[in-house]
Amino acid sequence: MRIAPIRRWKRSSAFGWAAGCIFLLLAACGAGGDPVLVQQIPTSSTTTAPAVAVSKTTIAPLDMAGFSTSTTEPVDPRPIVIYDTDMGPDVDDVLALAVLHNYADQGLVEIGAVTVSRNSEPGARYSDAVNTFYGRPDIPIGIHKSSYVDFDDSILFTVKADSWPQDLDAANIEDGFKLQRRVLADALEAGREVIIVQTGFSGNLSDLLKSEPDDISDLNGIDLVTEAVSFLSVMAGATELGFVEFNIKRDIGSARYLFWKWPTKLVLSPFELGDVLHYPYSSITSDYNWTERHPVREAYEYKDLSWHRDAPPYYDMKSWDLTSIMYAVEPDSPRFKISEAGLVVVAEDGRTSFRPGEGNGLRQDYVLHRGRQYSEQERQAIIDEMIELVSFQPDPDLERDSPNPEPGSDDPDSE
């Protein structure tokens, strides 16, 4: 119900008497507008979207009769997800991106951006190719331009980016933290929730926190994150095994800064969880046959994964990054067990620890339980759900460009 504002009318004026009658009639019918009234519109409930969507009520100029009219703009209840990934060193990054597109297809999230946490144009182009395959070619892509974390993309699956439709302008890829600032500023203006998922190195988010006010936002990085981000879901660290985990080791300085300065809730998916959740190669051979070519399948089957030298060419992939996406979008799902509140700390040597019950005055941290804390049946249930989420078939009516021919194929134009 809208409440009409109170106005004074001159009783000695016939016009005033008539206008007053019209005012009362319109008020009884719910006309008018209150500049401070907030409406709540029921929406369908999901595990991630709130049960109500807050609406902005704005006041239009007075009409000819002297009354104001109101317009209501519902706020999109879907959280915006920024996916920060090192796209390339392991295929669980692309598996996780497929899961995110599944959630977007279900209407649970909007993918606001993909930022690559290394200075890799092939990694960015492959991300764009996957987004295009799933019908979202316009998702903005950024890279960590100042990153010293380097891999030879010629031996990674990202080298296959150009065999897929994608139109990323390599010469004008935005710096990852600036793109993140842009998404956060736009979401804050629109009253939208933002969740960030980091499954790679910490350079982009560290630079985001260090950023100063600019033409994108009057807020510095920490204040912008505080205002716009509900929580960070991050895959990093080995909190029990005692070694320096890969995502931390490659950029210890940025990781230490991130875990020191991050101002909102943080949920850590440790190495020990994804290490025992293996995405089966049998799914790759059987669940993707609904299309002739599939970027996830081809990434998985690319043999030159140098840090898996002890693994056969095709193997069951350890699924670290998927856990952070799945928790971020469905935090209320019972699939994952979670610790009490505490604090995640990265030491000078890169070793990661969790201190239950502690805090740093900025936030509370939580850690998903390690893989050995789940029964075999519970682990298998998570794996089965991963298979369903990754191998889904998008809407068959979705318009999708044909893949580019691979070099050496039967295409007459190939050399």
pLDDT at 37: 32
Burial class (CB in 10 A: 0-12, 13-18, 19+), 382: buried
Structure token digits, residue 63: 């009409």
Task: Check pLDDT > 60 for residue 51.
Answer: no
Note the pLDDT tens digit of each residue in 187-228. Answer: 999 999 999 999 999 999 999 999 999 999 999 999 999 999
Q: What is the mean pLDDT of residues 255-267?
A: 97
pLDDT at 371: 86
- Cα–Cα distances (Å) from 242 to 202, 204, 276, 350, 356, in that order, read 20, 26, 17, 10, 17
Q: What is the mean pLDDT of residues 222-240?
A: 97
pLDDT at 351: 96
pLDDT at 311: 67
Mention the CATH class of domain 80-390: alpha beta
Note the pLDDT tens digit of each residue in 119-171. Answer: 999 999 999 999 999 999 999 999 999 988 888 888 889 999 989 998 898 88
More confident residue, 3 or 88: 88
User: If you write DSSP's letter for every residue of 27-38 in order, what string do you get?
Assistant: HHTT-S--TT--
Give the pLDDT band of residue 71 (cuts 50, 70, 90).
low
Across the chain, mean pLDDT equals 82
**286: how many CB neighbours lie within 10 A of its CB?**
11
Q: How does strand 52-62 pair with strand 68-74?
A: antiparallel
- Cα–Cα distances (Å) from 72 to 34, 58, 60, 78, in that order, read 11, 7, 11, 18
**Predicted model pTM:** 0.80
Contact of 51 with 42, CB cutoff 8 Å: yes
pLDDT at 74: 83
Residue ranges of the chain that CATH labels 3.90.245.10:
80-390
Q: What is the mean pLDDT of residues 284-299?
A: 93
More confident residue, 20 or 159: 159
Task: Check pLDDT > 90 for residue 372.
Answer: no
**Residue closest to 5 by CA, chosen among 41, 59, 73:** 59
* Highest averaged pLDDT of the listed ranges 45-54, 72-81, 117-126, 143-152: 117-126
Note the pLDDT tens digit of each residue in 314-346. Answer: 788 899 999 999 999 999 999 999 999 999 999
Q: What secondary structure letter does DSSP report for 364?
A: -
Q: What does residue 129 show for φ and ψ, rounded to 5 degrees?
A: -65, -40
Q: How does strand 174-175 pair with strand 229-235?
A: unpaired
Q: What is the mean pLDDT of residues 344-356?
A: 95
* Amino acid making up residue 202: S
Give the pLDDT band of residue 396 (cuts 50, 70, 90).
low
